[in-house]
Chains A and B, each alone.
Chain A
Amino acid sequence: MKNPLRKRLPREIRSEFGKYIVIFLLMVATIGFVSGFLVADNSMLIAYQDGFEKYNIEDGNFRTADRIYRSQREDIEKLGITLYENYYIEATLDNESTMRFFKNREEINKVCLMKGELPKAAGEIAIDRMYADNNQLAVGDTITSGEHSWKITGLVALSDYSCLFQNNSDSMFDAVKFGVGVVTPEEFDTLNQDKLQYNYSWKYEQEPADEVEEKEISEDLMEEIGKIVSLESFVPRYTNQAITFTGEDMGGDKAMMIMLLYIIMVIMAFVFGITISNTIRKEAAVIGTLRASGYTRRELISHYMTLPVLVTLAGALAGNVLGYTVLKNVCAAMYYGSYSLPTYETVWNAEAFLLTTVIPVLIMLVVNFCVLRHKLRLSPLKFLRRDLSGKKQKRAMRLSPHIKIFSRFRLRVIFQNMSNYLVLFIGILFANLLLMFGLLLPSVLSHYQTEIQKNMLANYQYMLQVPMGAMTGSKLEELLNLLTFYAEVRTDNETAEKFSAYALNTLPGKYKSEEVLLYGVEKDSKYVTADLGDGVYISSAYADKFRIRPGDTITLKEKYEKDEYSFTVDGIYEYTAGLCIFMSRDKLNEAFDLEDDYYSGYFSDTPITDIRKKYIGSVVDLDALTKISRQLDVSMGSMMGMVNGFAIMIYMVLIYLLSKIIIEKNAQSISMVKILGYTNWEISRLYILSTTIVVVICLLVSLPVERAVMEVLFREMMLSSISGWITMWVDPMIYVQMFGAGLVTYAVVALLEFRKIKKVPMDEALKNVE
């Protein structure tokens, strides 16, 4: 005979439909979203990883000043690699973005065509899909650069640009102002050949076994190639952000999502736990009778555990169906909104199924089992007597008789429901943390933008590009070239001030090695107004990121060599746009063996117009400095709206469930005071106001806790996901918004609860009283 108690389950669901549907929907939404995310993440990661072979992605690339001769090429290939030309030319388009033109690739870094077709004739181009989306371009549109224009024939993903980093040292990729595209070789030859970049990709003849070996091999390779040709850049694949950033980011997101799922599951398990405690209290006499009749504790535990586990299982299965169908596309769109990934095929993900179905059910099983085991440990007699306190309450907490009766009543309600309120606090903490996360990003980005604007070193920083001839060749040749260069880059702009610059890298450690720019500035510089003297200052971004204080010593290394340099920090300079070190120009030139009057650029408040463009390597202005915030806004802005919605949903569900439990728990007392003649309004003041007080206190107390937790999370996120640094900044309005959102949400729930109080029948008090 099957246990007849199971017949209660569907009736229990019907009678508590509101509660179960809310929990079920929250489960479906959470599990669906996480499952969709994991499936999309995994499928795209597989597509991304398969892409290495499918599209024959390079093992690295380097750039030289001049075309490599055949003999040089042969010498290089003797080092155990195969070289491929991967030249490109950049042009500034009329929409003020930069387009990097490649010839269509047939051997290496092949192109994935996502829409339309590849260019077949002159004047045609296939551009990166991501860039096209961000600039509202579609197949059939035309892009122009001055007099030159190209018709877009297709949208593509270049396998070596899954993330649109213009330069490998950039803090963040920029899929808005930087794009890549392929044209026919004939069309490529019509582009401005002065700007041709001699970029070469390589593939190892024998693949390194692991990253350690790859690192060793590539370091040796760089030295050896450096002896044959003069290198302008050297980027092994594992350091190439345009290729690796996507894969690393996908892995990081996955961990975050799984953590989110489990936190929600544990909270839901506790909500179930409290619900069950409430049911056990309500059914104490029945449980006592069943136990007295011979039902074992195990039978009752499994009976009361069935519904939470079934609801979780149903939620998980429905969530997975939703995840595989609808939400997968939403999550994939989020990735497509950030990265130029090739097309993917949905891959069944056993791990996702385990993480989103088996583990939530297990969490529910374990938490509920523990709660039930604890609750049902009492003897049948105690259940029959409805004495469920476990230990005897010695006496009621003393409350001063000077406190008004209503306040005392409310205090008693609060003390009686402490365990429920504790879960409520944890729920509020978590929901608010999510909300804070959602609200924080826009505020951080706008603050970052303002700060950058406020403490820019100069409106324009011109980085000069020393011709390669000035660095190589005979001494005499070098000197002559350098003299010509300095003559050509002289400016009459009165606001211009020389500086020298040198780039070093941080030592690789827990986080990847990052570029630090060293500025050598004039003694009485009007742009860097610190009393540098003979000392070294670091930018506040650098100090914040690595928690460096004056007096500390920092060690940096040459990017492509093993030489290390150490500096003792004398002070922090308020500059948030990058990781920088400031010292006097003399000191920098001396430290790096540069000529005494060497300089590499100008600070200027007005545009410098009298230097030939070919000598200007780059111009750092506000637009360039705010690249990070712009891209983060594009990539994550839409996600933040979802996070906020989700946070409010969790918040509502928790408050609804917990205050419902509190009302139910007190139904008998509510009924009794109704009989005494209290109005519904007065009863609401007793019961709902108690919860209101607790909610307000929880909201206020949770704010500083959330701030502290967020600081740790934000720091970790920034350290692992971006180069450079964005300071966390919480706009005070965020606290107001969080508090307000909490109160409004609570008000909605309180209204529902008021209706519930109105519905408590008066005979409730007369039932089940022995």
Chain B
Amino acid sequence: MFLQIQGIKKSFGSGDSRVDVLKGLDLEIEKGEFCVLLGPSGSGKSTLLNIIGGIDSADEGKLIIDGECLAEMSEKKLSVYRRKHLGYIFQMYNLIPNLTVRENVEVGAYLSDQPLDVDELLHTLGIYEHQRKLPNQLSGGQQQRCAIGRAIVKNPDILLCDEPTGALDYNTSKEILRLIETVNQKYGNTIVMVTHNDAIKDMADRVVKLRDGMIRKNYRNEHKVSADELDW
């Protein structure tokens, strides 16, 4: 199994104000799988994503990625791990404001020894013609495309997406989802996406529903549809 989550627990605060966000999760994701983490606000889905991404740590439990246990890694090793294996996409695009679209993508490429071809990727993302623009000259959808480009240019093993369509309208959201789908198919990355949009589950290979820090449902989607067919 490519990604194994075993008995992960996480809480915030202490004493009376202690909140258990994750209450012992077990989950396995295969290489190249498109996994959607669904759940209402406060269900712990973003916390789980951050733990997978190595930017947050679990209080208990194990996280094994491709045979490597994250809990045993020093901060330095974690940085290397993120650099080699992970790509991140956020709801807010977090682009560097004084770098052009192309340069923002190159910021991601710099981290990899064998990055994808930037020109080709920009074509794939549909922002080739905007490559010399600064982020503030782009629409929200275009900015998110650029952020996706930055994340996948280094061809990461895992692409972590935290509500990537949360700030976008219906049409743009579908465009972005289509793009993520293409990336998954073309480059074969494992994708873990956090969303509270129930409709998105239909395009995933695996659906994990969380509530109150626990996995309520975890199943493989046997009737996967393309992003084009989604509706909400």
Chain A residues at the B interface, C-beta cutoff of 8 Å = 1-5, 7-8, 11-12, 15, 283, 285-286, 288-297, 379-381, 384, 768, 770
Contact = CB atoms under 8 A, between A and B. Distances in A.
A294 B86 contact: yes
A297 B82 CA distance: 13
Given A4-B103, A7-B99, A768 B82 contact: no
B99 A4 contact: yes
Contacts of A292: 53, 55, 82, 86, 88
A656 B231 CA distance: 55
Nearest to A769: B92
B39 interface: no
Given A379-B56, A381-B50, A384-B55, A293 B151 contact: yes
Given A288-B94, A289-B94, A381-B56, 17 more contacts: A1-B115, A4-B107, A4-B110, A7-B99, A11-B99, A290-B107, A291-B82, A292-B55, A293-B82, A294-B80, A294-B83, A294-B86, A295-B79, A296-B83, A379-B55, A384-B94, A770-B91
B225 interface: no
A292 B147 CA distance: 13
Contact of B103 (A7, A283, A297, A768): A7
Interface of B: 50, 53, 55-56, 76, 79-84, 86-88, 90-92, 94-99, 103, 106-111, 115, 150-151, 154
A282 to B, nearest CB: 9
Given A285-B94, A286-B94, A293 B99 contact: no
Contacts of A289: 88, 90, 94
Given A1-B110, A15-B98, A770 B84 contact: no
A311 to B, nearest CB: 17
Contact of A286 (B76, B80, B95): B95
Nearest to A768: B92
Contact of B111 (A7, A283, A293, A297): A293
A4 B150 contact: no
6 contacts: A5-B99, A285-B90, A286-B95, A293-B88, A381-B56, A384-B94
A25 to B, nearest CB: 23
Contacts of A283: 96
Contacts of B90: 285, 289, 384
Going nearest first, the 7 A-B pairs with the smallest beta carbon separation are A294-B83, A4-B106, A294-B82, A289-B94, A11-B98, A380-B55, A285-B94
A1 B154 CA distance: 13
A290 B80 CA distance: 13
Nearest to B109: A1
Nearest to B57: A379
Interface hub of A15, A285, A380 (most chain B Cβ within 10 A): A380
A296 B88 CA distance: 15
B150 A293 contact: yes
Contacts of A380: 55
A126 B87 CA distance: 84
A293 B85 CA distance: 9
Nearest to A285: B94
A199 B98 CA distance: 77
B84 A294 contact: yes
A770 B107 contact: no
A286 B154 CA distance: 18
Contacts of A8: 96, 98-99
Contacts of A379: 55-56
Contacts of B150: 293
A289 B150 CA distance: 10
Nearest to B81: A294
A697 B87 CA distance: 51
A4 B106 CA distance: 6
B55 A296 contact: no
Nearest to A290: B107
B79 A294 contact: yes
A291 B90 CA distance: 13
